[in-house]
């Protein structure tokens, strides 16, 4: 699986959009980008995934660059409950394991 690089921490004001970047310059053609988050002491929570097109669901939007070497997770109106560690993971859709890096610790400030 391709490796990912994320900033270790970010801050965002409540009510603003939180934009979390991820670099995955060695991604291969059959690998997807997945995002999970882990709120303190809880199990990771699936957020969204994509291959090459931008994706949106009720939780977030995922923007993948045309060359697929990087992506951005967007939480459109961040709330205090969005404070968590966010993990960007690249894997083949059929691969069994998820490889969790260090993630980005996002803090939403009132």
Cα 110 from chain centroid (whole Å): 22
Binding map of other proteins across residues 43-82, x = CB under 8 A, - = no contact:
xxxx--x---------------------------------
Binding map of other proteins across residues 85-104, x = CB under 8 A, - = no contact:
--x-----xxxxxxxxxxx-
| Residues sharing a CB contact under 8 Å with residue 65, sequence separation 6 or more, in sequence order | 71
Nearer to other proteins, 94 or 110 (CB): 94
Torsion angle (degrees, nearest 10) of CA 43, 48, 49, 55: -170
Rounded to whole angstroms, the Cα distance separating 106 from 95 reads 28
Q: How far is the CB of 34 from other proteins (least distance, A)?
A: 7
Q: How far is the CB of 110 from other proteins (least distance, A)?
A: 26
């Amino acid at each position: 699986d391709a490796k990912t690089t994320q900033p270790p921490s970010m801050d965002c004001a409540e009510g603003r959009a939180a934009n979390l970047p991820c670099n995955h310059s060695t991604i291969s053609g059959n690998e997807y980008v997945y995002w999970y988050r882990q709120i303190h002491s809880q199990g990771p929570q699936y957020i969204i995934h994509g291959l090459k097109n931008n994706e949106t669901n009720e939780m977030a939007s995922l923007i993948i660059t045309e060359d697929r070497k990087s992506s951005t997770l967007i939480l459109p109106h961040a709330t205090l409950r969005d404070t968590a560690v966010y993990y960007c993971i690249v894997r083949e859709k059929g691969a069994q394991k998820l490889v969790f890096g260090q993630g980005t610790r996002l803090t939403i400030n009132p």
